[in-house]
Amino acid sequence: MTKPADFFVAAAMAVTSVCVGVIAAYGLGLGFASASLAALAALGGMAVVHLAFIRTPAPPDGRIDDLDRVATELQSRLETVELRLATLDGAAGERARAAVKPIVEELAALGALVTSIAKEVAAHDARLGQLAAARLLEQATAAPPAGPAATSPAPARAQPAPISLEPRRTRPDLEPFDPDEPEAPAEPLRRAAAPDLGLLARLELALRDDRIDVHLQPVVSLPSRRILHYEALSRLIETDVVTEAAGFMDVAAAAGRLAEIDRRALERAAGVALRLAASGRTGSVFVNIAPGTLSDDAAVAAIRATLDRQSECARLVVLELRQAEFEQLDAVQRAALDGFRERGVRLSMDRTTDLRLEPRDLAQKGVRFVKVAAERLLDPDAVRGASIHPADLAGLLARHGIDLVATNVEEERTVPELLDMDVRAAQGLLFGAARPVRPPSERDGSTPGGAALRLVPRNAAAS
């Protein structure tokens, strides 16, 4: 206690003792001596009580200091342990990277070797095809000229064969091939020369004989390369020639036959999609459709009838248009697409070159896939004028429910660059060329309803 407080307490005790003496003298009628003793007793009692309260506290216990010292030591040891763990993690990561690096380099070398072997085999097959084409041309030159009527089959007025929903095979002796098995890269089918019937005449014959078929090219996931979807590509099947769509689509469009080809391709793709679903796969089948087909009332009605008849196909078939075509659709064509969307069909935008996309608008129009060439995604000039960097395009589209698919992937070195851009789906010759599908009726002891999808071997399809 401070000195002023001591003086105040002493004065208070003195006044209190005097008050006690006065009360004893006048209130209790005690004598002066008795009242003085009572006052002194009260003063002494108050002094004793005050001294009891202001006695010196006991010295602090040393155990608190010991606890502080132990806590400080434990904290120091924990910091040391954390530092050692961080060092060990860094060393383990460096060792793991050093151990994996030779394996990655060896895998890359093996991939390059397999690619070079495949190219050599494809070049050999192409040379054989050229020799066969030259022999056919020699035979055609040596034979007397004949008009289309002479080369056409005799029953020209016979009814056309009904369209089958199942893909056709080009050769009866091909063994089945499972598309889930890994395969070496392959070159695309080579468009060889055919007997000189004229492309339009050959096309009309193929339509009459139901020889416009679809070949399937896989769309795989990265980096696992598991097959996610297939794209159905139209092919003109002849005796010794398989002509890709680019070789006859312009002629078909000029002749007004493109809608018929698209309709047949979609019906065949629907059959393939049903077989995929029956085998337990969750993938879809992409089918290209031309704007002219969307303007053809008969073709649109036939496609709607197919979707209504087999409602399961609506979620398994994806209609695909090029970006330039998609952006120039008129009201009639958009109304046709809206009718397909109401039945559950999804859309895909192919050959996307302008990366100034509006994902929200595309999602509202039913687009669920956007295909961009890998070369375009990796092109440094693609950043110019774009509202977003190509490396962020996959994430932007994914936030609106749209998957980005890199197409035309032909080299192994492209895959790591696509993974760095968060691209998780790809398509191209590196993962497999388009191949014909084996019909389920040729599977031993199986029913078409439960057939598993099998593709014709690559080397046979390319011959």
Q: What is the b/e burial string over 36-48, where b = at least 16 CB atoms within 10 angstroms of the residue's CB?
A: eebbeebbeebee
pTM: 0.56
Residue 137 structure tokens: 């041309």
Axis-axis angle for helices 3-22, 32-53 (nearest 10): 150
Question: Phi and psi of 82, rounded to 5°?
Answer: -60, -40
The CATH topology of domain 164-462 is TIM Barrel (3.20.20)
Q: Residue ranges of the domains in the chain?
A: 3-53, 62-143, 164-462
| Per-residue pLDDT tens digits of the chain, which is 463 residues long | 567 777 788 888 888 888 888 888 887 778 888 888 888 888 888 888 878 777 666 556 667 888 888 898 898 899 889 888 888 888 888 888 888 888 888 888 888 788 888 888 888 877 787 777 677 666 666 654 444 433 444 334 434 444 444 444 444 343 444 444 444 444 444 444 443 347 888 888 888 888 888 999 999 999 899 999 999 999 988 888 888 888 888 888 888 889 999 999 999 999 888 888 888 877 899 999 999 999 999 999 999 998 888 888 888 999 999 999 999 999 999 999 999 999 999 999 999 988 888 999 999 999 999 999 999 999 888 777 677 888 899 999 999 999 999 999 999 999 999 999 999 999 999 999 998 887 665 444 443 444 445 555 544 444 4
Token readout for 421 is 């851009």
428 contacts 415 by C-beta, under 8 angstroms: no
Residue ranges of the alpha helices (H) in 30-62?
32-53
**381: DSSP letter:** G
